[in-house]
Amino acid sequence: MSTENLTRLKSADDLEAMKNEALPKIAIRKDPSAPLHGGVTHHIMICCDTGCASSGARKIVDAFEADLKEKGLDKTVDVVVIGCHGFCEMGPLIVVYPDDVYYVHLKPEDIPEIVEETVRGGRPVERFLYHDRETLKPIVHYKEIEFYARQKRILLTNCGHINPESVTEYIANDGYKALAKALSQKDNTDALLEEVKKSGLRGRGGGGFPTGRKWELCRNAPGDKKYIICNADEGDPGAFMDRSLMEGDPHRLLEGMIIGGLIIGADEGYIYCRAEYPYAIRRLRIAIAQAEALGLLGNDILGSGWSFHLHIKEGAGAFVCGEETALIHSIEGKRGMPTARPPFPAISGLWEKPTNNNNVETWANIPGIIRNGGDWYASFGTQGSKGTKVFALTGKVRNTGLAEVPMGITMREVIFNIAGGIQNDKKFKAVQIGGPSGGCLPESMIDRPVDYESLIDAGAMMGSGGLVVVDEDTCMVDLARFFLSFTRDESCGKCTPCREGSTRMLNILTAICQGKGKPGDIELLEELARNIKLSSLCGLGQTCPNPILSTIRYFRHEYEAHIYEKKCPAGQCVDLMTYWIDTEKCIGCGACKKICPVSAIDGNKKEPHVIDVMKCIKCGSCIEACKKAHAISRK
């Protein structure tokens, strides 16, 4: 828990006073010439988001603390643990203020040198800097790196720049100012709703329903008791935007929800967060305690007389709970099985009360919209898709990480400029957008602008923002099979098309990958997919055929190669491969024969060896063992 001493704020003026008091503490991060506060000369910002933590960021924190103490600098240099800075590929990474020096890929043993050179000497250490891939020149300031320079950060402004466990730092960065503004108009929430509508913000969880209109439905629903919910059950493989937001800037989510409660007329809210996000849950708990201590949450918020309470519910491991009716049942303590709509949650949701549910990114956009106005937000993006979108960049790209871009940017720019293109000089093949519910786009489609409609038109969907980029070595049939095995395992089992149909589609895909595909399988898959989309009860079932439909649409030839030629063009499907020894190259060393676990290789010393394909289990051990001659290959 934070050590901050918090006294209850009784008015907007109190909040303003707190901000003014806090500003000098972080001034050196914004202005290198700012006067020192409390004698602190440097802030060392260390990303400890789950991603960086897994590459050893905690040890960097320890190393700094130990070294600073040893050098007697621990009173004048602040080590600040921050949330996701975005460029996960480069972790562990730090920023040293006031000089704004950005270091990447650090190891604990590097730290004394940084303290000596950068903190004491005011000089950057070149070998820890980021080096541009093309020019190979070191770059000192992260903002100049293409990964950051091409982004438009209006939501992630604090993420990676403040201590997420300090409400003071949030308030110093205009935190809760939007709430104070909203409360000043609490008797005219129509105007506030109008701003949300004007912003053009659409649900960031996947569906893209206009947020203002959604709120209006719940707001107008009959009933005194209403709930709001934040869906933080981000379960798509390859998506971590919401986690990073919660870990990096938790108060922004809280502020968005409190304002939402005010506009909608709800006095209670839930954040439903998956249990696999322990840091996020920890940070949210701290943030809630701080907001309550400050009177920004709970009874009589900022002395306005209006009250709002917020609870955290930990999920228990079910992807389908990202579906809003399933999520509601899960909060109620039931099996997370969706129910048919209507009635919509806006009319009858949690405990049959009007309920509004949005995801983390949607809620977190609200403070900015209220503070700067709907027009400001609508100035970013395209005609139909306003604002920015945060994407998680993963797969075979060089720069994995988190990127916020304006709507309407092309996918090519995201993949080749921000994400740096494909690793190991391989060829781009496709990008899967929207996880198991989304679809893939081939090269021919990535010059389209990124917005809700054009993605759906292309057979994909915005989804929550996971981008998985695959290269020429990825088999698209196998990719579809992977996503189907995920949805099959996560189907709740309530409706027939999803429960039975996803299993049948998976069985067919598995057979195709094993070389047991039959003529007619593609057509049967298409029939199943078309009908499952139309007839499933909830979004999970209705979207689970998308990976199949889009891979068939763009990579039908790969399916056909598997079925008719029994070949996997990407060379990924084990059952369609054969191993063979090039007798010209083989020197008869016997290494392969020795390592083969099933004795499928035979041959005399110093003579070419052969593989018995009937015995071979395609484990790949022989290729690894053939170090001298490189005589074994698979096809």
Partner 1 sequence: MGSTSPTGQNVDLARLDAVFDKYKDMAKGSLIPVLQAAQDTYGYLPIKALDAIAKQLAIPISQIYGVVTFYAQFRLSPRGKHIIRSCQGTACHVRNSARILESLKTALGIAPGGTTEDLQFTLETVACIGCCSLAPVMMIDTDAHGRLRPDRVPKILDSYSN
Partner 2 sequence: MSKNVTVTIDSQKVTVPAGVTVWGAARKLGINIPTLCHHFDVKPYSGCRVCLVEVKGGRALAAACSFPVSDGLEIYTNTPKVREARRLVVELLLANHPHDCLTCDRNQNCELQRLALDLGVKEIRFEKSKPTWEIDRTSPSLVRDPNKCVLCGRCVRFCSDKQTCAVYTFANRGFSSIVTPAFGKGLGEVACTLCGQCSTICPVGAITVKDDTEAVLKAIDDPEKIVIVQTAPSVRVALGELFGQAPGSIVTGKMVAGLKRVGFDRVLDTNFTADVTIMEEATEFLHRLGSPDKGKMPMITSCSPGWINFMEMFYPDLVEHHSTCKSPQQIFGALVKTFYAEREKIDPARIVSVSIMPCTAKKFECTRPEMNASGYQDVDYVLTTRELGKLFKSCGVSFDDIKPEAYDPVMGIGTGAGTIFGNTGGVMEAALRTAYEVVTKKTLPALELTAVRGMAGLREAEIDLDGTKIKVAIAHGLGNARKVMEAIKAGNPNNWHFIEVMACPGGCISGGGQPIAHDINYRAKRTAGLYEDDRQLQFRKSHENPEVKALYAEYLKEPGGHMSHKLLHTTFHNAHMDLFTVLES
Give the binding site for partner 1 (CB under 8 A): 275, 313-318, 330-337, 351, 492, 595, 597-599, 617, 619-621, 624-625
Q: How many residues bind partner 2 (CB under 8 A)?
A: 35
Binding partner of residue 613 among partner 1, partner 2, none, CB under 5 to 8 Å per kind? none
Q: Does position 318 bind partner 2 by CB under 8 A?
A: yes
Stretch that binds partner 2, among 98-106, 302-310, 431-439, 500-508 (CB under 8 A): 500-508
Binding partner of residue 597 among partner 2, partner 1, none, CB under 5 to 8 Å per kind? partner 1
- Cα distances from 325 to residues 216, 461, 500, 537, in angstroms, run 19, 21, 21, 11
Which residue carries 């695959």 as its tokens? 470
Binding partner of residue 316 among partner 1, partner 2, none, CB under 5 to 8 Å per kind? partner 1
**Cβ 183 vs Cβ 304: under 8 Å:** yes
Instruction: Give 434's contacts (C-beta < 8 A, 6+ positions apart).
Output: 206, 236, 455, 460, 461, 462, 463, 464, 466, 543, 546
- Restricted to residues 537-566, the positions that interact with partner 2 (CB under 8 A) are 537, 542
- Restricted to residues 332-371, the positions that interact with partner 2 (CB under 8 A) are 335, 337, 339-340, 342-343
Stretch that binds partner 2, among 133-141, 417-425, 503-511, 586-594 (CB under 8 A): 503-511
SS3 334: coil
Q: Does position 526 bind partner 2 by CB under 8 A?
A: no
Which residue carries 């000596």 as its tokens? 116
Q: How far is the CB of 445 from partner 2 (least distance, A)?
A: 22
Residue 65, token pair as written in the block: 């603390």
**Buried residues in 144-170 as b, exposed as e (16+ CB within 10 A):** ebebbeebbbbbbebbbbbbbbbbbbb
Show the CA angle centred on residue 543, arms to residues 156 and 387, nearest 5°: 25
Residue 486, token pair as written in the block: 């995920």
Binding partner of residue 454 among partner 1, partner 2, none, CB under 5 to 8 Å per kind? none
- Cα distances from 248 to residues 47, 163, 458, 476, in angstroms, run 9, 8, 33, 35
By beta-carbon proximity to partner 2, the closer residue of 278 and 317 is 317
Residue 597: how many other CB atoms lie within 10 Å = 9
By beta-carbon proximity to partner 2, the closer residue of 258 and 326 is 326
Q: How far is the CB of 275 from partner 1 (least distance, A)?
A: 6
**Cβ 455 vs Cβ 490: under 8 Å:** no
Q: Between β-strands 227-232 and 138-139, what pairing exists: parallel, antiparallel or unpaired?
A: unpaired
Binding partner of residue 524 among partner 1, partner 2, none, CB under 5 to 8 Å per kind? partner 2
Strands (E), 418-544: 428-433, 439-442, 466-471
Instruction: Give 507's contacts (C-beta < 8 A, 6+ positions apart).
Output: none
Binding partner of residue 494 among partner 1, partner 2, none, CB under 5 to 8 Å per kind? partner 2
Binding partner of residue 495 among partner 2, partner 1, none, CB under 5 to 8 Å per kind? partner 2
Q: How far is the CB of 528 from partner 2 (least distance, A)?
A: 7
The β-bridge partners of 581 are 632
By beta-carbon proximity to partner 1, the closer residue of 336 and 517 is 336
Q: How far is the CB of 434 from partner 1 (least distance, A)?
A: 22
The β-bridge partners of 271 are 230, 312
Q: Between β-strands 138-139 and 130-131, what pairing exists: parallel, antiparallel or unpaired?
A: antiparallel
**Cβ 61 vs Cβ 81: under 8 Å:** yes
Taken in order 27, 29, 31, 33, the sign of the CA dihedral is positive
Q: How far is the CB of 338 from partner 2 (least distance, A)?
A: 9
By beta-carbon proximity to partner 2, the closer residue of 196 and 508 is 508
Q: How far is the CB of 294 from partner 1 (least distance, A)?
A: 23
Contacting residue, 313, 488, 593, 609, with partner 2 by CB under 8 A = 488
Q: How far is the CB of 491 from partner 2 (least distance, A)?
A: 4
Q: In angstroms, rounded to a whole number, what is the distance separating the alpha carbons of residues 167 and 362?
A: 21
Binding partner of residue 317 among partner 1, partner 2, none, CB under 5 to 8 Å per kind? partner 1
Q: How far is the CB of 204 from partner 2 (least distance, A)?
A: 19
Contacting residue, 423, 535, 572, 633, with partner 2 by CB under 8 A = 535
Binding partner of residue 595 among partner 2, partner 1, none, CB under 5 to 8 Å per kind? partner 1
**Residues of this chain that bind partner 2 (CB under 8 A):** 318, 320, 335, 337, 339-340, 342-343, 488-497, 499-504, 507, 524, 527-528, 531, 533-537, 542
